[in-house]
C-alpha cells in the first residue's frame, strides 16, 4: 500500500524546509518533500569559506543562461540556482539580511490591507526561526533553529572599508536587521557553532535534520517533479521522475510548490497553468489561463569596481598551498581564522540620490573577484566593490523552452531594462571610486583595474556596466501574490493559486516586490508564514 501524505512539497529549498518543519513538528501533518538535487552537498560546503570552491562549478548549481539582452550588447548573463536539499541556503554566501520595513509594508498596502504580510506581521516569523548569537531584543530571537552570527574572522581590507565609508560620511550600523538599514557595517550570516566548529546553518541542517527520526516527514532526493496532477480543478498530487522512472504521489490535503522562482513557474506551466497562448505554443493542454505565470521576474544585480593593492591584503592566495593548510589547521584546531568567514563580511547600504531609504547595497570583497562569465580581471591582491541595486524597476520573465521537463526554462533577466536601474548603478560606481580615494584605502591602492581610470564618461561606463553586470543570486516574483483586482497576480494573499483548489506556492516566486536585501532570510520567513496559514486553513 502506498504511503499517504497530507502535503506534498515540490522542491526542498529554504522556504520548503521551514514550512515542512513547522507542518510536521508543530501541526502534526504528514509531509513529503521531493527535491531534484542530492540530499547532501560536499563536506567542504559546511565550512563558512568552503562555498567559494564551488561558485564556478555545477556540482550543486544549475546554470541558467539568460536569453540575449539587447541592452547588454547581446550578453546573456548566467543566473545560477541551487540544486541540493536546502536550496539556496545550502550553497550561498550565507548573508542573513531581511530587507527593509517599507518592503513588507509595501506588500500589505498592495494587497489592500494593513496587517497581512506587513513588517509587523513578518517580524515574528523572522524572530521565530532565528538563534542569534549577538542580539536578543525586539528585532531578534534566540530560540529558533537557524543559527545566525557574525564572521569569525574580519579581513584587514574589510576594516579599511568600514573606515573609508565612515570617512565619506556614512554612519556605522551594528545591525542591518534592526531599527534601520542604512549605514556601513558587518553583515550577519547563517552559520554558527555545530559541535566543535562554526558551520553553515542551512535549511536541511537547521530544519530538516532535527526531524530525521520523525516518521511524518519523508524526503525523496534526486526526484524531478514534472507535473502537478489536477483533477476536476483540484491539485491532488504530483508526477516525478527518479532514476529515469516516473512515479505519481497523492496529496490528501494540498500540493505545495517550492521549487524556486524559475522552476516553480516552469512546473506550473508544464501542468497547464499559465498564459494560454504560450502553453498551446508548446503543446501543453491548458488547465487554467493564468496570465501572470512567469511574469514579474525580479533579481538583484550588481556591477564591480576593482582595484589592486600595493602589498599583500585580503584573502587572495589563502585557499592554496601552505596558506590553505595553515588556515585549515587553524580552523580544525582552534575554530578560528579565515575559514570561519565567508569572505564577504561588510557592506554599505545607502542611496546615491541622498534619500534616507537605501537603494544600493555595496559589498566589499577583499580580493579581485569576477563572476565566471566575466574574465577581464585576474584574481590577485586587491578589493572588489559591487554595487547591488536593491529595488530594480525592470521586470523580466520565465517561459517554457519546451514541454520537456528536462529542458531548462527560458529566463529573460532584463537587467537595466529600466533607465533608472542603470542610472542608480552608474551613480554608485562613482561612490565606489570615491571609497578608493579615501583613507585608509587611498595610500594602499595600486591601480584601478575595472572600470579603469580611462573610463570616465557616461557612454563608456554604460558599456562597461553592460559587459560586467551580474546576478546577486536573488531571483523572485515569477508567481506573484496579489489582490483580486490584479489580473497578473498568480496567488492570493494566502498563497493559493487562483482558479485551482488544493495548490499553493510557498517560495520567493510569490514576492510581489523584491525585498531590499539578500533573499534567503525572507524565503525562510515566507516558509514559516505559509505553514501557519496552511495549518489555520485546515483546522
Summarised one tens digit per residue, pLDDT across range 14-57 is 999 999 999 999 999 999 999 999 999 999 999 999 898 888 78
Cis peptide before 149 (omega within 30 of 0): no
Cell numbers describing residue 172: 556605522
Go through the domains of the chain in sequence order and give each one's CATH number: 152-186+303-389+416-468 (3.30.410.40)
Residue 70 sits at φ, ψ, to 5 deg, of -55, -40
Q: Which residues are identified as catalytic?
A: 474
- Tens-place pLDDT, residues 294-330: 999 999 999 999 999 999 999 998 888 998 999 999 9
CA distance linking residue 410 with residue 420, whole number of Å: 25
- Tens-place pLDDT, residues 200-232: 999 999 999 999 999 999 999 999 999 999 999
Residue 370 falls in which region: left (phi positive, over 0), alpha (psi -120 to 50) or beta? beta
Which residues lie closer than 8 Å to 213 by C-beta, 6 or more apart? none
- Tens-place pLDDT, residues 267-291: 999 999 999 999 999 999 999 999 9
Vertex 188, ends 344 and 381: CA angle to 5°? 15
Amino acid at each position: 500500500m502506498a504511503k499517504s501524505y497530507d502535503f506534498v512539497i515540490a522542491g526542498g529549498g529554504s522556504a520548503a524546509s521551514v514550512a515542512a518543519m513547522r507542518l510536521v513538528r508543530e501541526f502534526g501533518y504528514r509531509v513529503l518533500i521531493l527535491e531534484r538535487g542530492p540530499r547532501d552537498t560536499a563536506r567542504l560546503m559546511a565550512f563558512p569559506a568552503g562555498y567559494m570552491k564551488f561558485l564556478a562549478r555545477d556540482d550543486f548549481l544549475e546554470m541558467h543562461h539568460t536569453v540575449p539582452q539587447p541592452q547588454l550588447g547581446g550578453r546573456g548573463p548566467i543566473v545560477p540556482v541551487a540544486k541540493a536539499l536546502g536550496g539556496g541556503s545550502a550553497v550561498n554566501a550565507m548573508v542573513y539580511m531581511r530587507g527593509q520595513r517599507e518592503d513588507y509594508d509595501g506588500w500589505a498596502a498592495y494587497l489592500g490591507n494593513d496587517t497581512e504580510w506587513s513588517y509587523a506581521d513578518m517580524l515574528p516569523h523572522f524572530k521565530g526561526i532565528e538563534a542569534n548569537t549577538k542580539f536578543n531584543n525586539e528585532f531578534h530571537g534566540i530560540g529558533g533553529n537557524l543559527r545566525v552570527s557574525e564572521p569569525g574572522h574580519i579581513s584587514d581590507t574589510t576594516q579599511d572599508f568600514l573606515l573609508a565609508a565612515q570617512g565619506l560620511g556614512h554612519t556605522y550600523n551594528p545591525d542591518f536587521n534592526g531599527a534601520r538599514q542604512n549605514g556601513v557595517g558587518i553583515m550577519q550570516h547563517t552559520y554558527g557553532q555545530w559541535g566543535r566548529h562554526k558551520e553553515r546553518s542551512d535549511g536541511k541542517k537547521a530544519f530538516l535534520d532535527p526531524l530525521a527520526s520523525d516518521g511524518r516527514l519523508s524526503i525523496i532526493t534526486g526526484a524531478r517533479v514534472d507535473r502537478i496532477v489536477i483533477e476536476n480543478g483540484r491539485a491532488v498530487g504530483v508526477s516525478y521522475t527518479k532514476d529515469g522512472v516516473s512515479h505519481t504521489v497523492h496529496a490528501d490535503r494540498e500540493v505545495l510548490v517550492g521549487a524556486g522562482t524559475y522552476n516553480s513557474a516552469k512546473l506550473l506551466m508544464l501542468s497547464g497553468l499559465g498564459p494560454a497562448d504560450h502553453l498551446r505554443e508548446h503543446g501543453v493542454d491548458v488547465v487554467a489561463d493564468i496570465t501572470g505565470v512567469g511574469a514579474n521576474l525580479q533579481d538583484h544585480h550588481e556591477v564591480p569596481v576593482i582595484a589592486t593593492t600595493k602589498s599583500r591584503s585580503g584573502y587572495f592566495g589563502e585557499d592554496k598551498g601552505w596558506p590553505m593548510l595553515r588556515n585549515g589547521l587553524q580552523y580544525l584546531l582552534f575554530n578560528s581564522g579565515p575559514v570561519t568567514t565567508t569572505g564577504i563580511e561588510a557592506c554599505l547600504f545607502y542611496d546615491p540620490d541622498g534619500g534616507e531609504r537605501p537603494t544600493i547595497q555595496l559589498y566589499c570583497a577583499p580580493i579581485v573577484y569576477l563572476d565566471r562569465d566575466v574574465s577581464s580581471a585576474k584574481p590577485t591582491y586587491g578589493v572588489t566593490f559591487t554595487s547591488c541595486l536593491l529595488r530594480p524597476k525592470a521586470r523580466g520573465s520565465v517561459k517554457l523552452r519546451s514541454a520537456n521537463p528536462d529542458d531548462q526554462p527560458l529566463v529573460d533577466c532584463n537587467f537595466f531594462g529600466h533607465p533608472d536601474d542603470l542610472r542608480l548603478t552608474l551613480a554608485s560606481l562613482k561612490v565606489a571610486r570615491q571609497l578608493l580615494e579615501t583613507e585608509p584605502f587611498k595610500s594602499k591602492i595600486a591601480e584601478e583595474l575595472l572600470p579603469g581610470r580611462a573610463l570616465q564618461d557616461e557612454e563608456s561606463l554604460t558599456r562597461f556596466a553592460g559587459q560586467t553586470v551580474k546576478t546577486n543570486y536573488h531571483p523572485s516574483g515569477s508567481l506573484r501574490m496579489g489582490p483580486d483586482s490584479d489580473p497578473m497576480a498568480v496567488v492570493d494573499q494566502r498563497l493559493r493559486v487562483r482558479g485551482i483548489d488544493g495548490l499553493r506556492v510557498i517560495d520567493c516566486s510569490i514576492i510581489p516586490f523584491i525585498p531590499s536585501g539578500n533573499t534567503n532570510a525572507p524565503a525562510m520567513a515566507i516558509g514559516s508564514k505559509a505553514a501557519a496559514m496552511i495549518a489555520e486553513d485546515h483546522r
